[in-house]
């Protein structure tokens, strides 16, 4: 039982480490898996299954780059209510980024919607311009 608990802790630690390493290389942090159905992870098998489902619906990197370009285009050019649309390189993913609010302090709220492999995911980002760079905050 002790080794099971240690294994679960090590596995969770590795997953968190990989997530942090991936996020540290880029200012834009969006999780681009459109999977939204995860099982309770009270076992290694459940944890592994969730990881596999997350990976299976993870938008390809070149398409994530399209989304990211759209995010920065919207931040730099769009007014409230305007949006940017993107389509993946192989036409198997697409999405929109809409500016939903611009605050007096210059922060912007963006609503992103991504479609991939028959699933859709939407979320809200808040970005504020700091030292001539956009910094993103979870909402």
Q: What is the pLDDT of residue 24?
A: 34
DSSP per-residue string spanning 97-138: EEEEEE-TTS-EEEEEEEEETTEEEEEEEEEEEETTEEEEEE
Q: Is the pLDDT reported for residue 14 higher than 70? A: no
pLDDT in tens, 23-68: 333 366 666 676 666 566 667 777 776 666 666 667 888 888 999 9
Tokens encoding 42:
């009270």
**Threshold 0.85, pTM exceeds:** no
Q: What is the pLDDT of residue 119?
A: 87
Q: What is the pLDDT of residue 31?
A: 61
pLDDT in tens, 61-92: 888 899 999 999 999 999 999 999 999 988 88
CA dist 19 and 26 (Å) reads: 12
């Amino acid at each position: 039982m002790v080794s099971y608990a240690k294994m679960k802790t090590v596995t969770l630690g590795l997953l968190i480490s990989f997530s942090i390493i991936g996020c540290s290389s880029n200012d834009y942090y969006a999780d681009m898996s459109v999977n939204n159905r995860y099982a309770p992870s009270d076992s290694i098998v459940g944890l592994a299954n969730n990881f596999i489902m997350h990976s299976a619906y993870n938008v390809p990197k070149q398409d994530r780059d399209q989304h990211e370009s759209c995010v920065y285009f919207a931040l730099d050019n769009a007014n409230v209510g305007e949006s940017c649309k993107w389509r993946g390189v192989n036409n198997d993913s697409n999405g929109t980024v809409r500016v939903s609010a611009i605050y007096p302090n210059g922060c912007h709220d963006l609503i992103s919607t991504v479609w991939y492999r028959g699933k859709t995911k939407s979320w809200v980002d808040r970005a504020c311009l700091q030292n001539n760079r956009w910094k993103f905050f979870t909402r």
